[in-house]
A and B are shown apart, each in its own frame.
Chain A
Amino acid sequence: MAPSMLKLSRPLMLVGHIILLVTALSIIAPLILVLGTSFKPANEIYGGLPWPRKFTLQNYYDVFEKLPFGRYLWNSLATTTLRVGGQLLIALFAAYAFARYNFPGRGLLFALVLGAMMIPPQLTFLPIYLLINKLGWFDTWAGLIVPNLAMPLAVFLLRQHLLAFPKELYDAAAMDGANELRILWSVVLPNIKPVMAALTVVLFVDCWNEYFWPLVITETDHAMTVQIGIRRFLDAERGDDLGPLMAAVTLISLPALAVFFACQRQIIQTFVSVGIKG
């Protein structure tokens, strides 16, 4: 991580620690409850104690026994990876176009990007359903991936960062005869590593936790994802099966956690460390 650049006064730092510690505690307490419950037998779940009296792994067995959990995990991992990769690339291209060029209709087009964020698939369920039917994408990976490849949020975030990017850098690179892709790859990308890393985490988590879209698209175990899988333990009519639910949630958080740790090193890196001064 970069050396600290702002030396805050001691009292201020103390305040900072206190706020962060309280926030962290408010986060860790519920998480202990999730983890603790995942090891509880059914009759302890509503007991009010955060951890089990009688430790059991039964909930974890149940996850694998009651669901083709491995298959779901594979579907989730593969589609999320493909989708996030595509999203990053497509968003980077679009954001680059918005930040680098001045073209007619740019403002309008960008407003449409912002507008697209306001239309989640829940609101357009019926037209989307008809469209997916025309494309024949029900119960396929394509149906899970392609309709979500364009991520307005990502374009918006990257554009915000690219706007702060010194124009001289593009021009210098262009002067050296580098083509646009080359500029994007070897000049722009290294300098926006932190935001790309943050965005990777954000997109990954977003896709990983998505419920509604896979619910519309998938029909069989062939394409079902882990989030659809865990809803099997929720049953409004007959009572939720919270032990296996918590076990499943603990398990499916792990890949997202791994992505977070893989990316987080990048997130605080600075321009300074890459050797470019603004």
Chain B
Amino acid sequence: MTQTLELVATTRIERTAARRKIDLRPAVFLAPFVVLVALFTYWPLIQLVYLSLFKLNRSGPDRFIGADNFLGVLDNAQFHDAAYNSLIYIFLSIPFKVFLPIPLAVFIWTMGAKLGNFYKAALFLPTLLSFVVVSIVWIWMLNPVMGLFQSVIGPLGLQMPSLLSDVASAIYVIIGVGAWKLIGFNILLYLAGLSAISRDYVEAMRLDGAGDWVVLRRLIVPLLSPTILFVAISTVVFTIQQVFTPIDVMTQGGPLNSTTNLFYLVYQYMFESFNVGYSAAGALLIFLLLGLIIAAKMIWFEKLVHYS
């Protein structure tokens, strides 16, 4: 009993001592990053908040108008579609960008060097190309009269539908092209994550008679989970900005607003409408939306990791 008390006491003393002597090392390591982010990301963001509350005139922010810009954005006929589509973009991208690359990376990981390298290189190629060109090439491939797909299914007596001009399908094309562009990127990240898994673990499990599935489920996925979380969060954060280029090149948000999203909307306010106030308000709404999704995701993920 006294021993325990003593222990508690010493720990407390140590703790206060540590608190008194502030460790400067993390501050030094963080300084360059923090300074740069503060200056080039958060300072503009703060100004954005400011701009969102004002009406702009010829020389700059002029008149305080409170929530008017936000209300104006919400009143926009396209806002509803853009917000809904943003969620579709984010959630439907997750299976393709987050989950599909996991088995692909595992397959590549278990393969011999030659084949593995071939697949890895092939799957990574789209990442290297300008997204404008990728979008143009996909328009050609999907062309309902003379595209690649039509020339494959045409002889079978089938007719390729015009996927990009159909309200029901256009958004899926853009999600697909976005995923296509990024899949190699994410496979690469998973491979980097897999490389940290020690052979000893696998061998130990093997000795216990574990099959492939068990190794995958019990060892690889849990050890890969930090990378999975990373990929999941970057998918949430980047998807609606990533699809900006294919939207702009392929559909311009149409047909009938079916492919527009919040990022595209904000961009249009900024660059096609002289409407800085709305674009600032819209940007903050995006920030809020993504923040909420990420917070929810982190909580969900923590639970998931806990239970498995």
Contacts and interface: CB of A to CB of B under 8 A. Distances in A.
A194 interface: yes
A29 B148 contact: yes
Interface string A48-81: 1010000000000000000000000000000000
Interface string B29-41: 1101110110111
Nearest to B264: A122
B247 interface: no
A122 B265 CA distance: 11
B44 A124 contact: yes
B119 A8 contact: no
B270 interface: yes
Contacts of B148: 29, 33, 50
Interface stretch (B83-91, B164-172, B196-204): B196-204
Interface string A179-206: 0100000000000001101110110010
Interface string B93-136: 00000000001101111111100111111111111111111101
A2 interface: yes
Contacts of A202: 185, 188-189
Contacts of B199: 5, 270, 272
A257 B128 contact: yes
Contact of B198 (A146, A267, A271): A271
A225 to B, nearest CB: 12
Contacts of B118: 24
A19 B103 contact: yes
B202 A271 contact: no
A114 B233 contact: yes
A4 B111 contact: yes
Contacts, number: 297
A125 B283 CA distance: 11
Contacts of B185: 202, 205
Given A109-B30, A120-B241, A5 B40 contact: no
Contact of A6 (B30, B220, B290): B220
Given A117-B237, A155-B33, A261 B48 contact: no
Nearest to A28: B122
- Main secondary structure on B side of the interface with A: helix
Contacts of A243: none
Name the residue among A93, A123, A231 with the largest chain B CB count within 10 angstroms: A123
Nearest to A180: B25
A31 B148 CA distance: 13
B42 interface: yes
Name the residue among A122, A147, A164, A268 with the largest chain B CB count within 10 angstroms: A268
A140 interface: no
Interface residues of A, number: 105
Nearest to B108: A20
Nearest to A254: B128
A48 B154 CA distance: 14
B43 A131 contact: yes
Interface stretch (B6-14, B70-78, B223-231): B223-231
Given A90-B32, A116-B42, A264-B124, 17 more contacts: A16-B103, A24-B118, A103-B23, A122-B267, A124-B283, A125-B270, A126-B47, A127-B48, A149-B36, A150-B37, A201-B124, A202-B189, A205-B128, A230-B130, A257-B128, A267-B120, A271-B195
Interface of B: 23, 25-27, 29-30, 32-34, 36-37, 39-45, 47-48, 51, 103-104, 106-113, 116-134, 136-138, 140-141, 146-148, 151, 180, 183-185, 188-189, 191-202, 212, 215-216, 220, 223, 226-227, 229-230, 233-234, 237-238, 241, 244, 263, 266-267, 270-271, 276, 279-280, 283, 286-287, 290-291, 294
15 contacts: A4-B110, A27-B125, A34-B129, A97-B25, A101-B25, A103-B27, A117-B234, A117-B237, A117-B238, A122-B263, A127-B48, A131-B39, A245-B136, A264-B117, A272-B198
